[in-house]
Amino acid sequence: MSSVPAHSEFPACGQDCFLRLTHRVAKVGSWSLDVSTGAFHGSPELCSLLELGNDHPSSLDEALSFFLPSGRRLVRSALERCLEEEASFDVEAPARTARGQRLRLRILGEAMRPVGRSGLHLHGICQNVTSIHRMRESLRIQEERFRLLASATNDAIWDWNPDTDEVWWNDGVESLFGYRQDEVGSEMETWLALVHPEDLEEVRASLTEAIRERATTWKGEHRFRRADGSWAWVLARARLVQDLSGRVIRVVGGMTDLTAHREMEEKLARTRHLESLGRLAGGIAHDFNNALASILGATELLLMDPPTDPHARSDLDQVRQAARRGARLTGQLLALARRQILRPETLDVNELVGSVVSAARLDLAPGIRLGFRAGESIPPMIADAQQIEGVILQLIANASDAMPQGGEIVVETDVEPAISGGQPARVVLRVRDEGMGMDALTLDRIFDPFFTTKDEPGAGLGLAAVHGTIIQSGGSVNVESTPGEGTTFTIRLPARRMEIDEEGTEWERGRGL
């Protein structure tokens, strides 16, 4: 049996056959140009690409005429550069066949000097890359569309290749969490390192299971560390892309910041809890107050004709003091439930606050200074004077407790003018201190009933009562605090509305609600 001849032993006709078949499969035609004579020759495969039949172009200009204007300039420029520098070229250009069909051609060429001749010859090939170009263009458009969608969304979009462990992030990772793309890293482990330690194991396990089970989607909620060190609650969702065998080859997902939504849900749940607690406390306080009134009344009657036994008289005094303490407690519970009986009247704000501050100074510990800054042109307001006095005294007492080493408390009055067609004028009361301040967790619960940072039994209703009283009076109360710098309580109450008639006389319209 004869052996297969080596490549060099193949006859020339065989090599030509292989070349023609290769050109046909690859959709490639060859061409040559004699620069000295301008003669242009194209192979049958080139004529087939251009749908010319057997009439191949006989000149360079005729060959270039099949290219669209932009492509014609590009190819001519490449040919001229090849002649000047005797360097090869490789360009793509749009063209049109003899029958008007548009296609994309790839032209490769190089300059050669035939042996024994002084002129240059250009030789090259021309390949139909229309389908390849369309695929590239389609991929480019899809990638551009993906980038635009990724930049238009408010989410942080990521694209992970499990085989290479490469991760791509869109700009949302900076707008949501404060990271530049180079800071968040290009590996999955870098992303997982930013997941809260308490959530990390669950996130890793659920994602691993989704890949192992060949799932098509994955989602989960967890905490994600921002660039400033704070934690954001996020909803992570992903689509798992699989190959024909079902193996996951790509995971594209996004993270939505749920922090504000969760905080709103927590506030709503806390509000409902407080309302339920307030209704319960109000019902108990009302009945308890009636019982205390009877006890206190009976005690007062007995003390009008005190017993001769000094021990018995001391016992009655203790009963009266205990009943009064109970009455104050029920008053706070009723304030919490917003079920107090209010007796509103027109109040001069500066006069009321000034008298309360003067009285409060007498009970302050040494080293604590209490100042009053009266605002100008403060309109009157309609409120229960006794309840507002109690609110101011409670805030002063809290401020004093926050400054065991002494400091200054300042009570201010101000006014927020009415907004045309909107919010009416409001009287503003502020109580500032230089105390130890509060952190964010304490601030979130500052008005919760029975919440306290003190070790005293029974504490925790003062600020809850303040909140209930102000809300029942048609106002609002806010607090700002910084640990180590102090706290400011701001109360806003509706000012009395006034109208001015044609004679310039002011007439009261009632409460500005």
Which domains occur in the chain, in start order?
7-134 (3.30.450.20), 153-257 (3.30.450.20), 263-336 (1.10.287), 345-511 (3.30.565.10)
For tokens 């070349």, what's the residue?
A: 19
pLDDT exceeds cutoff 50 at 508: no
Q: What is the pLDDT of residues 2-34, one digit of tens each?
A: 444 444 555 555 556 656 666 666 678 888 888
pLDDT, averaged across the chain: 80
Cβ of 29: how many Cβ atoms within 10 Å? 23
Least confident of 175-179, 400-404, 468-472: 468-472
Backbone angles phi, psi at 81, to 5 degrees: -65, -35
Amino acid at 42: G
Tell me which H or E stretch contains 300.
Answer: helix 259-304
Q: Which pTM does this prediction carry?
A: 0.44
Q: What is the pLDDT of residues 459-498, one digit of tens each?
A: 556 777 788 778 878 888 899 998 988 999 999 988 876 5
Q: Hey, which of 114-128, 149-163, 199-213 has the most confident mean pLDDT?
A: 199-213
- Predicted confidence band at 430 (pLDDT cuts at 50, 70, 90)? very high
Rounded CA gap, 194 and 232, in Å?
A: 11
Q: What is the pLDDT of residues 300-319, one digit of tens each?
A: 777 777 676 777 777 777 77
Look at residue 56 and give its three-state secondary structure: coil
Find, among 98, 92, 76, the residue nearest to 128 by Cα: 92
The overall longest dimension of the chain from CA atoms, in Å, is 148
Structure-block tokens of residue 453 = 């940072």
